[in-house]
């Protein structure tokens, strides 16, 4: 098992890619902290336990520094350490620039960008003290090339890439790697409300001719969290079916 004995915190693990990653990490031997503001996360922790794995649910809001500290403290209290952080939590509030409410701009910034900062700042001292760790930030191809109607989302995902590069320099010398994953068009609960015509357009723009799956992305999280990625630091892995060559 690729994560045997490791302790992983995955934010936004109650649904979608986060849930898939939590289940996959557990199957690979990790002790998983299922972190989510949604109580659905408790069911995911229960699934892991029912399958013979070790997991706890940490209900918390990544927009709150105190909540992130409590999340890390809960992980250490339960499992003694933290080896992996996956900053997976994220939301969208789409609208064209001239129609975008300030409240929607602020909310997306708070969850996607500040939330990544809060969780990482909370866990980094623990990893530095133990001399090892893996931090995986979740960006998006939208953060690289932009997307119509996603001013706020694109800003956060571009910001996540910038923070990844900084933290890779700051923490790498302490034995902690920091990398980012940039998914393309992925089929999750978020896409269920998207009209079929739009989904077909997404498929048409992707050279592989299909939307990605949550497992496609979770597999990359797993690789970056494992010892196989020990010398990868400050990188951005695109999981987009060739959308960005």
Q: How far is CA 163 from CA 60, 74, 170, 191, in A?
A: 22, 25, 10, 27
Domain with residue 71: its CATH number is 3.40.50.720
Q: Which residues are catalytic?
A: 153
Indicate whether this model's pTM tops 0.85. Answer: yes
Termini Cα distance of the chain: 32
H or E element that contains 54:
none
Residue 192 falls inside a structural domain: yes
Residue 164 falls inside a structural domain: yes
Residue 1 falls inside a structural domain: no
Domain, as residue range, for 123: 7-237
pLDDT (0 to 100) of residue 242: 95
pLDDT digits over 11-20, tens only?
Answer: 999 999 999 9
Residue 69 falls inside a structural domain: yes
Instruction: Judge whether residue 245 has pLDDT over 90.
Output: no
Residue 134 falls inside a structural domain: yes
Residue 244 falls inside a structural domain: no
Of the chain, the percentage scoring pLDDT greater than 90 comes to: 92
Residue 165 falls inside a structural domain: yes
Helices (H), the chain: 16-27, 40-50, 65-79, 102-108, 115-130, 142-145, 151-172, 196-205, 214-225
Q: Is 189 helix (H, G, I), strand (E, B) or coil?
A: helix
Q: Is 112 helix (H, G, I), strand (E, B) or coil?
A: helix
Residue 157 falls inside a structural domain: yes
Q: Look at the chain and report how many structural domains it folds into.
A: 1
- The number of angstroms, rounded, from the C-alpha of 34 to the middle of its chain's C-alpha atoms is 12
The secondary structure of residue 193, as a DSSP letter, is T
pLDDT digits over 74-111, tens only?
Answer: 999 999 999 999 999 999 999 999 999 999 999 999 99
């Amino acid at each position: 098992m690729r994560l045997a004995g490791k302790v992983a915190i995955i934010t936004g693990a109650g649904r979608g890619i986060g849930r898939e990653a939590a289940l996959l990490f557990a199957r690979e031997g990790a002790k998983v902290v299922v972190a989510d503001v949604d109580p659905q996360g408790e069911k995911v922790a229960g699934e892991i336990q029912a399958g013979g794995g070790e997991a706890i649910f940490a209900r918390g809001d990544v927009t709150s520094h105190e909540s992130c500290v409590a999340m890390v403290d809960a992980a250490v209290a339960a499992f003694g350490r933290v080896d992996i952080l996956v900053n997976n939590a994220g939301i969208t509030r789409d609208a064209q620039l001239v129609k975008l409410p300030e409240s929607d701009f602020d909310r997306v910034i708070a969850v996607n960008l500040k939330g990544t900062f809060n969780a990482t700042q909370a866990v980094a001292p623990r990893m530095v003290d133990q001399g090892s760790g893996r931090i995986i930030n979740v960006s998006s191809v939208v953060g690289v090339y932009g997307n119509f109607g996603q001013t706020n989302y694109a800003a956060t995902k571009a910001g996540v890439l910038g923070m990844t590069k900084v933290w890779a320099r700051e923490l790498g010398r302490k034995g902690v790697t920091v990398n980012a994953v940039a998914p393309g068009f992925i089929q999750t609960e978020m896409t269920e409300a998207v009209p079929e015509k739009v989904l077909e357009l997404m498929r048409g723009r992707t050279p592989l001719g299909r939307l990605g799956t949550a497992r496609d992305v979770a597999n990359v999280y797993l690789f970056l969290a494992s010892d196989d990625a020990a010398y990868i630091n400050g990188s951005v892995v695109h999981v987009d079916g060739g959308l960005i060559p």
